[in-house]
Amino acid sequence: MDKVAGQKRSLQFLYPQIEPFDQRILDVGCGHHIYVEQCGRPDGVPVVVLHGGPGGGCSPSMRRYFDPSYYRIILFDQRGCGRSRPHAEVEHNSTWHLIADIEQIRAALEVDRWMVFGGSWGATLALIYAQAHVPVVQRLILRGIFLGTQSELDWFYGGGAGKFWPEAWARFTSLIPPEEQEDLIAAYKKRLFSGDVVLETRYARAWAGWENALASIDSTGISGETPSQYARAFARLENYYFSNKLFLAPNEAILSNMSKISNIPGNIVQGRYDMICPPQTAWGLAQAWPKARLKMVAKAGHALSDAPISMELVKIMDALRA
């Protein structure tokens, strides 16, 4: 999960715009080629940024949460989205493919250990990656916690969040016949993978619109028209991952494996009024992770661009400078 809404509000708290000193396309196999970039200080402390979604892609503003004179900032577009190709492709695209991709990036860039920074689905992926590759993770900085559990999906796609935003929920559900509304993920899956690009795009925009409408604390419940190419990748990838329970077996559930990262320090930043990923999940994660510091941010929602969220993340990254 993760949508960026209202970026202008947060820009005042970020570092100035910067351009990458390195951009490359990495062949990760099975026909997938992923976009990777590096910004900031080439010999700085490495931090890899994991975007949300699945399918959200990186944006230039994500470079700006880090002091470029100190950090070596590494961003990449996960399989099937952003500048990675093939676009909106779900074949050979799973959580474990992405974990392998992150390791391939680390090896290609000759990074020994790095910090991992991620929000929403990016936080999910960061936790799974850390549990799989403990020795190479220096620290986790996470925002808007999503652990990929059925209860979280039920909240957002089963009517929980809809009780707070009935008008946006009505728009999202109105495209689905009443007899299919008990499982909206499955109902949307039929349309998002119909083979008709026009139909897929229509439902992709509705899928992305529902999430975007609830992302920011300042939301009116109405989101702008999502660009068709972005929406199709975002919706197809999210739906595919959610339909497959994030490709996690029961024994791979994040909370069940927290002992593996008990010695890795972390920061959790959570919006108190996050309607997409409710704060209970972040609180539960902090209880299972003694070395994590949880910051509940008042008057903030889910969006990375909510100003108090951005301010807190920059504050954390600045404080971590040696």
Cβ–Cβ under 8 Å, residues 192 and 236:
yes
129-158: average pLDDT = 98
128-141: average pLDDT = 98
Flag whether pLDDT at 215 surpasses 70.
Answer: yes
- The domains located in the chain, with CATH, are 7-148+247-319 (3.40.50.1820), 150-246 (no CATH)
The two structure tokens encoding residue 244? 């497959």
Confidence at residue 10, expressed as pLDDT on a 0 to 100 scale? 66
Beta strands in the chain (DSSP E): 22-29, 32-40, 45-50, 71-76, 114-119, 137-143, 266-271, 292-297
DSSP assigned state of 234: H
121-135: average pLDDT = 98
272-294: average pLDDT = 98
Among 119, 150, 81, 149, which residue's Cα sits nearest to residue 5?
119
Considering the chain, what percentage of its residues have pLDDT values greater than 70? 97
Question: Which phi and psi (to 5°) does residue 297 adopt?
Answer: -95, 115
pLDDT tens, position by position, 245-265: 999 999 999 999 999 999 999
Flag whether pLDDT at 322 surpasses 90.
Answer: no
Q: Name every residue whose Cβ is closer than 8 Å to that of residue 109 and which is 6 or more positions away in sequence.
A: 36, 38, 46, 74
More confident site: 6 or 55: 55
Flag whether pLDDT at 8 surpasses 60.
Answer: no
Whole-structure pTM value? 0.96
* Alpha-carbon torsion (25, 27, 31, 37), positive or negative: negative
pLDDT tens, position by position, 223-245: 778 899 999 999 999 999 999 99
Q: How far is CA 69 from the centre of its chain?
A: 26
Catalytic residues: 120, 274, 302
